Amino acid sequence: MTGIKINQIKKIHFQKFLWGFFRFVLIFGLCYVILNPFIIKILMSFMGPKDLLDSTIKLIPKHWSLYYWKYAWGKLDIANSGMLTMQLSMISGLIQMLVSTSVGYGLARFKFKGRNLAFAMVIIMLLIPPQVYSIAQYLGFRYFGFGAVTANLIDTVFPVYILSFCCLSIKQGLYIFLLREFFMGMPKDLENAAYVDGASVFRTFFSVMLPNAKTMMITIFLFAFCWQWTDTSFSSLYFSSRVTLALRPMLGAMTIRTQARTDIYGTGIAINTATMIVIIPLIILAVVCQKFLVKSISQSGLAN
């Protein structure tokens, strides 16, 4: 009997070892696939102009240099493009957070006619690509107004803010869905206790529900901020003479050129380096606010 138990224990340990080894290989492979292009871009950004003429260099540069970092930084126009991007990301992120929280709470807690239809429209917002209705939106803001009174809102920040307020901004349907799932998972006893104490619906929402949803709201703001920061579709549609940071690398040949204008590879490295500079603030933001992301996702019901 003792020998049989020992064999069973060895079998269990062997199965755990195989399962752990399989998970290690799977996670390592996924990390390699995801991080490999990122690592290649980082190594290439530290190459010097001499390394481009050396056929023996593949990834690791021989002459480590900040040449392309300095050049890309100068061509990104941080003073203008950076401030415009920060303004759009901060204000639209706050608007989306507040509006999505109100809509998500209403869909989760209140029963009214058309609630299911409203939630279906939120899901449709996630499925339809913005390219389908982008021309209609452009014309709406180009001739914004009523009747004969119109105004041209193109090349201003108002289209981005209006879309955020109307729940039509980038991925805003996802924010509403996450907040709806979060509020549906909260116990109704909290609201009932507030109602018994004489609190109104608005007082209950602001004094009871919002403090408990603080983590999720921060996460929604981070999502909205990051997506607006890297947005190129709406920014290129509504801005003609102003350029955001995410659009600068896309303009490549016009805005980010090396001193040798015939150097195609050097221009490509400068564009990749500019892209790295654009996303570095988002990487820092994700590392600092990682605990909010993990906690909010676990509370939203997606982890169940």
pLDDT value of residue 95: 93
Q: According to the model, what pLDDT value does residue 258 have? A: 43
DSSP 99-123: HHHHHHHHHHH---TTHHHHHHHHH
What pTM, to 2 d.p., does this model score? Answer: 0.79
- Whether residue 17 lies inside any domain: the answer is no
Q: pLDDT of the chain along its 304 residues, tens only?
A: 555 666 677 777 778 888 888 888 998 888 888 888 888 888 888 887 777 777 777 778 887 888 888 888 877 778 888 888 899 999 999 999 999 999 999 888 888 888 888 888 888 888 888 778 888 888 888 888 877 788 888 888 899 999 999 888 888 888 998 888 888 888 888 888 888 888 888 888 888 888 888 888 888 898 899 899 988 888 888 888 888 888 877 665 444 444 444 455 567 777 888 888 888 888 888 888 776 665 655 555 444 4
Tokens of 148: 């004969």
* Any domain includes 234: yes
Residue 230 domain flag: yes
What pLDDT shows up at residue 293?
65
**11 assigned to some structural domain:** no
Nearest Cα to 260, choosing from 269, 249, 251, 250?
Answer: 269
Amino acid at 156: T
Burial class (CB in 10 A: 0-12, 13-18, 19+), 228: buried
Q: Could you tell me how far CA 140 lies from the centroid of its own chain?
A: 26
Domain range for 217: 67-299
8 Å CB contact between 212 and 295 = no
Give whole-number Cα distances, 209 to 97, 127, 171, in Å: 14, 29, 23
CA-closest candidate to residue 175, choices 230, 110, 232, 96: 96
Q: How far is CA 95 from CA 148, 264, 281, 288, in A?
A: 30, 42, 21, 22
Q: What is the pLDDT of residue 98?
A: 92
In a domain, 185, yes or no: yes
Please answer whether residues 44 and 272 qualify as being in contact, where contact means their C-beta atoms are separated by less than 8 angstroms.
yes
Q: Would you say 235 and 163 are in contact if contact means Cβ atoms under 8 Å apart?
A: no
Could you tell me the CATH number of the domain that includes residue 260?
A: 1.10.3720.10
pLDDT at 91: 93
- Is 177 domain-assigned? yes
Report yes or no on 284 lying in a domain: yes
Helix residue ranges, H only, 232-289: 233-238, 247-250, 252-255, 264-288
How many domains does one find in the chain? 1
Phi then psi for residue 165, to 5 deg, are -70, -30
The reply to whether 5 falls in a domain is no
Spatial distance between the Cα atoms of 85 and 283, rounded to a whole number of angstroms: 16
Q: What pLDDT, on a 0 to 100 scale, did the predictor assign at position 168?
A: 85
